[in-house]
Amino acid sequence: MTSKISQELIEECDLIRDRRIEIEGVDQAIVALLQQRVRLAREVGRLKSGTGLPLFDPAREAAVVRRAAAQARDDGISEDGIRQIFWQVIGLCRRAQVGES
């Protein structure tokens, strides 16, 4: 009996380890996508600077957050959590557009 329980525990630990490895891969993908978003935001900022358009567009930013929250709702993820994350991402991109790290 003990050996069966030990084997089951080992298998559970292996599954946990495997899922954590998958999570690390997702985390790396998230960072890569954020790098891409920051790069694109900087490019948009450069393009806007030559046109006289305002650098920031609060209405567009709010629409981006609403769209992400709606997708979260459809996917069964916390809308509030996604809103918070997206406002942080927008802040990161805003800072990148004005040359902050």
The pLDDT, as a whole number, for residue 2 is 56
DSSP-assigned letter for residue 50: T
Which residues, at least 6 apart from 56, have a Cβ–Cβ distance to it below 8 Å?
A: 94, 97
Question: For residue 90, which of 46, 32, 34 has the smallest C-alpha distance?
Answer: 34
- Quick: pLDDT tens for 52-99: 899 999 999 999 999 999 999 999 999 999 999 999 999 999 999 988
Q: Is 77 exposed, middle or buried (0-12, 13-18, 19+ CB in 10 A)?
A: middle
> What's the CATH fold of domain 2-97?
Chorismate Mutase Domain, subunit A (1.20.59)
